[in-house]
A = this chain, B = another copy of it.
């Protein structure tokens, strides 16, 4: 019985989170009200309040799920690749492929990150907590490995990490870019760019 209830509860939470993602993608964070999410989930708003403490709780949970999904997607590819160069390629290609394969999810993720704020009103994108971002760590690990194996030259790993990730995210954050190149070309060219950047003479 208890198990069954938990199962139902879990299913509901998933259903709500998926509706939240749809809503975020379709109408953006600002217009994403409990009512809009409830409409898409075909349930009442009160039921959302029942399953999540408040709107913030729902957004946090949704963000977590989105981050985890994306991480798994990319990490699967980097783990499978052999050697730092190949792993770097897998990282870049995987990241951009995720964006174009799951556009709704990536838009939802962006909408939350840039709109949600902590209780003290600190925006998520400014946050500097101790929680580690698995994708960031993975990229750092790849770059360090490359330096250790002398495949890569000398550079500040965290800054290179930031540069690569910024360049990757630009594809979602820059509407004009999408109109100019498809995701595969962008990712292929980015691999070349950072291959050069990483290999100092």
Which residues of A approach B to under 8 Å, CB–CB?
A: 26-31, 107, 110-111, 114-115, 117, 121, 123, 125-128, 133, 136, 155-156, 158-160, 162-171, 173-181, 185-186, 189-190, 192-194, 196-197, 199-200
Contact = CB atoms under 8 A, between A and B. Distances in A.
A159 B190 CA distance: 8
A32 B155 CA distance: 41
A155 B121 contact: no
Contacts of A174: 125, 162, 165-166
Copies of this chain held together in the complex:
4
A173 B125 contact: yes
Contact of A173 (B166, B167, B171): B166
11 contacts: A27-B121, A28-B123, A29-B30, A107-B126, A125-B174, A128-B179, A160-B189, A163-B163, A164-B167, A166-B170, A194-B197
Contact of A166 (B121, B166, B175): B166
Nearest to A131: B176
A156 B189 contact: yes
